[in-house]
């Protein structure tokens, strides 16, 4: 059985402020870089990726 990601054409990724910050000490650059790589891989697979932020 194909995974949901394999079946989907469009993926929505919600990133909250707690995932972006490093214990309130600023941006977590390592985490952001990892997400960027994962999103780039999905784009290479032909997926449309929508990144949503809470705006908090």
How much is the pLDDT for 42? 95
Report pTM.
0.79
CA distance 25 to 37: 23
Nearest to 7 by CA among 46, 37, 38: 46
- Tens-place pLDDT, residues 17-52: 888 888 778 899 998 999 999 999 999 999 999 999
Positive/negative CA dihedral, 12, 18, 21, 22: negative
DSSP state of 8: -
């Amino acid at each position: 059985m194909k995974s949901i990601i394999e079946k989907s054409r469009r993926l929505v990724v919600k990133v909250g402020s707690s995932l972006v910050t490093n214990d309130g000490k600023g941006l977590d650059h390592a985490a952001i870089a990892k997400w960027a790589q994962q999103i780039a891989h999905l784009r290479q697979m032909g997926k449309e990726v929508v990144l949503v932020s809470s705006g908090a």
